[in-house]
Amino acid sequence: MIKIVMLSLLLYSNFLFSNEGEKVYEKRCASCHKLYIAPSILLENFMEKNNTVLHLTAPTINQIVFRLKSRIGDPKGDEDIHKMEIDSFIADYLINPDKSKSVCLPKVIRHFKTMPSLKGKISVEEIEAVSDFLWAYNLTDFVAKKLKFVAYKKAVEIAQKEHKIIIIKLTREHCHFCTKMDREVFSDKEIIEALDKNFIVVEVDIGKETPPLGLKIGMTPTFIFVDEKEKIMAKIPGAWTKQDFLGILKEAVKAKGDKK
Ligand code: HEC
């Protein structure tokens, strides 16, 4: 009996994790906490520019997760215990927010008002789900570090030197399927390895930047494959599953090989 209860709890929490956590974030947290801003930009904003670049009113989720994981509990200890420690910090913070408990840097936190308590506004299940969502979020952060920081010009240089294919990944803010792909596809080990071997990814936020090569595309995500001579090989719109995207990457490598 106990086993069955535990199993169903486990399944239940997995279910919440995969579906509900992000929804809870979108419904209860996204109005204040942006999901992701590149660490280099955050650093410049808070350490050099007094928050005058981003004008943030709350820390971003990638900031919070990074700080929680390094400041709460024992980061080098048992992973399950570490997660429980972070879960309980979050559960407490949502009900009893208090800047004196903050894990953020003083130079960051001083720009914000204390978070309003969510007491009575968020259920225990929602707290667990959003906490799972935050815990899993580091993957995206890792991938972002690895994949997002090449500017187009630099990518062309690398592509020519290392005979790689450039993928221009067109995204925009609040693009649900971009985030979904970041989390489910671009955080996958096989995908990362495949990208690492044959590709260079350039991410362009079409709401903020003009895409290279005069590209005029409104749909996000869209993936533009470009060869080392800056010729467009393919334009692939839409969100893809891991298997499909791996297939697309293989096709691109094959197409490049065929041309030689
Ligand atoms: C009305 C705006 C608002 C909403 C909604 C909100 N937060 Fe916050 N949150 C803030 C602000 C501002 C801070 C920074 C000041 C502070 O720590 O109290 C913060 C800080 C935090 C911190 C602590 C970071 C630290 O300083 O150590 C966590 C964790 C957190 N929020 C999680 C969440 C989660 C999860 C949700 C959704 C369930 C949420 N917040 C909803 C505004 C908000």
pLDDT digits (tens, 9 = 90+) for 81-100: 999 999 999 999 999 999 99
Same domain, 23 and 53: yes
- CATH, residue 76: 1.10.760
Same domain, 124 and 208: no
Q: Which residue has the higher pLDDT, 146 or 237?
A: 237
Closest ligand 1 atom to the C-alpha of 64? 24
Could you give the number of structural domains in the chain? 2
User: Is 102's C-beta closer than 6 angstroms to any atom of ligand 1?
Assistant: yes
Distance 56 CA to ligand 1 centre (A): 12
Distance 72 CA to ligand 1 centre (A): 16
Same domain, 29 and 70: yes
**Phi/psi at 110 (nearest 5 deg)?**
-65, -15
Distance 252 CA to ligand 1 centre (A): 42
235 domain-assigned:
yes
Same domain, 37 and 115: yes
- CATH, residue 188: 3.40.30.10
Same domain, 62 and 173: no
Q: Is 1 helix (H, G, I), strand (E, B) or coil?
A: coil
The rounded radius of gyration (Å) of the Cα atoms in the chain is 20
**Cα 32 from Cα 26, distance rounded (Å):** 10
Please, which pLDDT band fits residue 142 given cuts at 50, 70 and 90? low
Statement: residue 22 has pLDDT above 90: no
Please, which pLDDT band fits residue 260 given cuts at 50, 70 and 90? low
| Contact indicator for 46, 63 with CB cutoff of 8 Å | no
Give the H or E element holding residue 233.
strand 232-237
48 domain-assigned:
yes
Please, which pLDDT band fits residue 12 given cuts at 50, 70 and 90? very low
Q: Which of 72, 101, 136 is the last residue of a domain?
A: 136
Same domain, 173 and 94: no
Same domain, 172 and 130: no
Q: Structure pTM?
A: 0.61
Distance 10 CA to ligand 1 centre (A): 27
Predicted pLDDT at 11: 46
Least Cα distance to 179 among 202, 203, 150 occurs for 203
Q: Where in the sequence is the domain holding 214, given as residue range(s)?
A: 147-259
pLDDT in tens, 231-253: 999 999 999 999 999 999 999 99
